[in-house]
Chains A and B, each alone.
Chain A
Amino acid sequence: MAIVDAGGIRLHVQRTGPTDGHGPHPTVVLVHGLLTDSLASYYFTVAPGLAAAGLDVVMYDLRGHGRSERPPHGYTLDDNIDDLAALLDRLDVPGPVHLVGNSYGGTIAFGYAARHPGRVAGLTLIESEPATPAWAAKLGRILHRVVTELAHNEADALAWVTARHGRNTARLAKGAARLVRETTLGRDIPASRVLTEAQITAVRCPVLGLYGGDSDMVDLLPAHRRLLPDFRAVVLPGHEHSVLVEAPGTVGEHILDLVHAGAGVR
């Protein structure tokens, strides 16, 4: 397990890639989602296939998540973007990178691309969206529910989750409750600085959106098509928000398509 000091915060990083000794290979950086997520969602799904296809793969746990450090404060979107920038500097990753973000991880990846356009070759947003006022309001509602229902009436809430979704989900919910109790994340994320439409449109790299067909995220498609200059959407029928772990084979192929398309024209 590698712990990397990324500008004052210790982040858990896992890397995999081709073992052919030739390089450098294109780098893909995989950013996971909020509360119940960790780099494990990539490690056991798309990462081995991306490495076998010739990419250097970087995965890390967001602050407060997985095996990374959990400071009590500093959980705005900008803090997460700063962490990603510091990590990539620290790892000395060559060239523009391909960023893949799942859910909130995609919001971080997009924010990084908006801030550092020259450093991003392409973006894959899985069940995700750029930070807009509507995004901040939605996250505020979700986090308010987590704080009130889970963190304050944990026993009742967990019994309900166990009955409805099983023990595994209940265990994940317990971890989420601990995270919002121990940190300012629940207040910080909804208070994050968001992007203007002009800032979103200024992200000119290829953006691939992957969505579960049964997820309400597909409602965002018209806005993404209108705002993003180079946007392609793939809707995977029969899936909801967890499409990354439910359909990793298909998700991995689409990520590779985007990476290879970029390699062909550059």
Chain B
Amino acid sequence: MNPTQPAPAQPTADTVLADIAGMVRTVLAEYGDDDVVIGMSTGFNRDLELESIDLVTLAGLLEERYGRRVNLAEFLAGMEFDEIIELTVGRLVEYVVWSLKTTQAG
């Protein structure tokens, strides 16, 4: 995917999933991991084995793509530690779609 391509005004869960899968592949590429299958039920920790510092990198990629409306730090700071460990791609997709919608309306 092309990171300079502008984000659509009203992205759907499908387009956001494709975006996030691309970002996760970018992060995993640093470990020499490619060809991972990423779907809504994929767990960041359980399946992808991402560490919390990898999520900081992901937060930066999300902000680059969607602007400051999507703030992974604020999203995760509202969670319990165990919830963060259990975080799935689908839950992040829902959050991104929701924040883009909310800020559109506001």
Contact = CB atoms under 8 A, between A and B. Distances in A.
A183 interface: no
B35 interface: no
Contacts of B52: 38, 40-41, 43-44
Given A45-B77, A47-B73, A49-B77, A40 B60 contact: no
Interface in A23-54: 38-41, 43-49
B100 interface: no
Interface residues of B, number: 20
B53 A48 contact: no
B77 A39 contact: no
Contact of A175 (B51, B59, B81): B51
B55 A40 contact: yes
Contacts of A19: 68
Contact residues on A (Cβ < 8 Å of other chain), bracket: 20 to 34
A67 B53 contact: yes
A56 interface: no
A172 B49 CA distance: 11
Q: Is the interface of B mostly helix, strand, loop or mixed?
A: helix
B60 A44 contact: no
Given A168-B45, A171-B49, A48 B73 contact: yes
Interface string B64-97: 0000100111101100010011000000000000
Contacts of B72: 44
B74 A40 contact: no
Contacts of A61: 53
Interface string A216-227: 000000000000
B65 to A, nearest CB: 14
A91 interface: no
A246 B81 contact: yes
Contact of A248 (B55, B71, B77): B77
A74 interface: no
B57 interface: yes
Nearest to B79: A44
B56 interface: yes
Contacts of A246: 81
Contacts of A48: 71, 73-74, 77
A66 B53 contact: yes
A16 interface: yes
Contacts of B60: 1
A261 B52 CA distance: 32
Interface in A194-246: 245-246
B38 to A, nearest CB: 19
Interface in B36-59: 45, 49, 51-53, 55-57, 59
A41 B84 CA distance: 12
A76 interface: no
Interface of B: 45, 49, 51-53, 55-57, 59-60, 68, 71-74, 76-77, 81, 84-85
Interface of A: 1, 14, 16, 19, 38-41, 43-49, 61, 66-67, 168, 171-172, 175, 245-246, 248
